[in-house]
Amino acid sequence: MSKNRNRAKNYATQQMTYASPIQGLQSPTSPLQGQQALPAQIKHNLSNYIAPVQLLRLKHDVRMWRDAVLEAELAYYPQRIKMQRMFIDTALNGHVKACTEKRKDLTLLRRFELQDSSGKRLDEATKAISECEWFQKFLSYTLDAIYYGYSLIALGDIIDNDLPNLIIVKRWNTSPDRYNVTSYDYAIVGQDFRADDVKDWHVYVPTPSDNGTSPCGYGLFYNVAVYEIFCRNVLGFNGDFVERFSMPYVHAKTTKPSDERDDLEATVANMGANGYAITDPQDDIEFLEAALAGTGWNGYDNLEKRCEDKISKLILGHSDALDSTPGKLGADQGGDESPVQKALSEKQIKDGRMCERVCNTLLFPKLHNIGQMPKGIKLVFLNDDEVQETVERENLNAQGLANVGVAMKNAGLAMDPAYFQKQTGIPTSAIVTPLPILPPKELPLNDKVKNKLDKLYRISA
């Protein structure tokens, strides 16, 4: 472990001696006045400013988790290299991945619309941007800032009114403290992404700082990483336990000489992945087991479950938010939301407001500056769940009031239609009862008719 840390330190020292591949760039804190314009491929995407050097990955433990924040809180030249190196391994954990995808889907699967400055829905523009792959990637990268602490998103070149090359700039080369992108890890001088010829092609999404040490937060993965490290170690320990105490062990005894003994060992080794031993008949192997060897796996399972519950709480707001199937209205007594559904709803609202703010105050103005969007366009997420719950609640209220009206009618009373309409919002009208149809009155018989009847009766007689 100490060897890995020394290796990382030597690697960082070596990288700081390299020069930037872009000649003539000043310190990131000074403007690029009087400098030659950057090439378009770098101006549109600062990922091209980064030298193709592979990131050194290390095996992390709790000590390195603490070292990461110490590096980020340096008084002079703070860095996020160790922190971001740890985060890319944290994101690989299956439970962490499932939690982050669950939370991101709460926002990415929501319906939204584009509106003009007066709040009018723009149907064609909404349909067009909904079908853009780059916009979904942008929202995903924006939400990733919650976990990694920040995101610098490069828009890339415009091709056929599209942004197919939109990409995230490597976070270990992006300094949220100096607002620059460096060519190499641990370099200080780099390209300021706030420069005039760069800023309209990049969207920087920071998170609030928790302690004021840095202008940018550390990200949710810093809190998650310590539990993920324990989960990772527990998985390895559990695998060793199963290999030692659960898998069968082959023990072969022989008196054969060395040549034939090698043949026997090869035969035993090819029987599978189980452990084996070759001994003389006089030799003996004794397996010493701890008192809890038969049930020791419960300790690994219990610790892993507790760590995963903490991770679910940190990311989703509830320890059971990933495995349960939350309901909506009526989940608990009294018709309130379940705790799981309430926690997920709060995360969805919070993340949705973040995406609206980033799009409306950062992305869309930059797209306007480069001629890709009219001024005054804004993104608004539709609260479909709230609308549906409101409709269901209003329907239940109307049904209950209608039942009261039926009971009043059976008691010889009548509900005022105006009151029912005011309480439910449902237009009402009185039922018009049709008048009964009276039989036609008998007409008086005239003389002509009487004569015909008399004649008919005489003939019959």
Q: What is the pLDDT of residues 119-137, one digit of tens each?
A: 999 999 999 999 999 999 9
Alpha-carbon gap, residue 178 to 196, rounded angstroms: 16
- CB under 8 A, 24+ apart: contacts of 361-366: 362/203, 362/204, 362/205, 363/138, 363/203, 366/155, 366/199, 366/200, 366/201, 366/203
What is the predicted pLDDT for the residue at 413? 78
Judge whether 28 and 190 are in contact, CB under 8 Å: yes
What do you get for the CA distance between the two ends of the chain, in Å? 135
The answer to whether the predicted template modeling score (pTM) of the entire model surpasses 0.75 is: no
What is the predicted pLDDT for the residue at 168? 97
Longest distance between any two alpha carbons in the chain, whole Å: 148
What is the predicted pLDDT for the residue at 461? 56
pLDDT digits (tens, 9 = 90+) for 342-381: 899 999 999 999 999 999 999 999 999 999 999 999 999 9
What is the predicted pLDDT for the residue at 14? 42
What is the predicted pLDDT for the residue at 238? 67
C-alpha to C-alpha distances, 433 to 406, 420, 436, nearest whole angstrom: 18, 20, 9
What is the predicted pLDDT for the residue at 31? 40
Question: What are the per-10-residue average pLDDT scores of the chain (461 residues)?
Answer: 49 38 32 60 95 91 95 95 96 95 96 93 94 96 98 95 95 97 95 95 96 94 95 75 64 71 68 65 61 58 86 93 60 59 92 97 96 93 66 69 77 76 75 67 63 68 56
Judge whether 169 and 198 are in contact, CB under 8 Å: no
What is the predicted pLDDT for the residue at 454? 72
Q: Give the distance, in angstroms, between the CA of residue 362 and the centroid of all CA atoms in the same chain.
A: 21
Cα dihedral 6/11/13/16 (nearest 10): -160
Alpha-carbon gap, residue 389 to 346, rounded angstroms: 16
What is the predicted pLDDT for the residue at 421? 75
Alpha-carbon gap, residue 385 to 392, rounded angstroms: 11
What is the predicted pLDDT for the residue at 13? 43
